[in-house]
Amino acid sequence: MHIQIFAAQWGNNELPAPVFIERVKAAGFDGIEMSLPLDAAERDDWTRQIADAGLGLIVAQWETVFHPTFAPHKQALAELLHNACAARPLHVNSHTGKDYFTPQQNRELLDLAAGIARQHGVPIVHEIHRSRFSGHPMLLLPYLEQMPELQLTADLSHWCCACESLLEDQPETLAKTLPHVRHIHARVGHPQGPQVADFRAPESQAALEAHLSWWDEVIRLRRAAGASRMTLTPEFGPAPYTQTLPYTQKEVSNAWELNVAMLQLLRQRYA
C-alpha cells in the first residue's frame, strides 16, 4: 500500500501559490490539502500549479461552518462540494453538519454528499471534528450503523478533548470507527485540547503513543482490505491551535516545523 503524506495549507494561507508549493516540495510532502477558491479560474490556477509540481491534491471543504442554520449550510455544502470535486482531487475532506442539527438534517447532508460523490466519481470523506455531526463518539456511531458505507477522516484529537480522555475507556468505539477511516489528520491532541504544544516533548509522549496506536490500526486495516493508497496530513495549526504566551501572544511552537517533523516520523514509521 502506498502511503502519501500531504501538507496542510491551513496556517500558510498568506503565501502565494508558487511560494507555498515550493515550500511543500522542499519539505518532501507528496501533495497539498487545501480549500480551493470558488472562482473557477482561481481554482483551476491552483490545481494546475499543484499538478505541474508533481504533487497530489486533497480538497478540504470547511467553509460551511460559517452557516449556523440548516438551509444555508446545505446550500453552501452543495456548492462547495461540487467545486471541490471539479478539481478532480484524490478525495474531498468535508466538515459536514452540526452537532445541534437533528439526526434527520445531518443524514440529509450526508446523503447529499454521497450523491455529489457519485456524480463526480470523487470520494468524499467526512471529518471527525468538534461541533460537526461527528463531534462526539455517541453522535457519530448511529450514523455508522445506518450508513455502513460512510467514509471518515480521522482527526481523533477532537474526540480527546470532547471526551476529556485519550479514549482508553472506549475500545469498542474505536473498533467501530476506525474501519471507516480513509484519511488521517495526523495532529496530536490531549484530554484538554486538540493540539499539544510539541508532540516531541516528554510530557506529550502518552498522547503521541495513543494517536500512533490509532493510526497504526487504520494502516493495518487498510492493508488488510487490500487498499492501494492511504493518505495522511500532519495538521498542527496556527494560533489559537498553537498555544501562545499571555500578553505577548508569542507562539510557543512553530506549526510548520511540527508538521515537517510529523512528516518525518510518519515516513519512518510507515515506510
Residue ranges per structural domain of the chain? 2-270
Average pLDDT over residues 65-88: 94
Kindly indicate the confidence band of residue 66, based on its pLDDT and cuts at 50, 70 and 90.
Answer: confident
Q: What is the pLDDT of residue 208?
A: 98
Q: What is the pLDDT of residue 39?
A: 96
Digit-coded pLDDT (tens) for 128-177: 999 999 999 999 999 999 999 999 999 999 999 999 999 999 999 999 99
Q: Is the pLDDT of residue 210 over 90?
A: yes
CATH code of domain 2-270: 3.20.20.150
Kind plus residue range of the DSSP H or E element containing 206: helix 205-224
User: Within a 10 A sphere around the Cβ of 72, how many other Cβ atoms?
Assistant: 12
Digit-coded pLDDT (tens) for 225-249: 999 999 999 999 999 999 999 999 9
Digit-coded pLDDT (tens) for 92-114: 999 999 999 999 999 999 999 99
CA-to-CA distance for 204 and 202, rounded, in angstroms?
A: 5
Q: For residue 39, what are the contacts with CB-CB under 8 A and spacing of at least 6?
A: none
Q: What is the pLDDT of residue 60?
A: 96
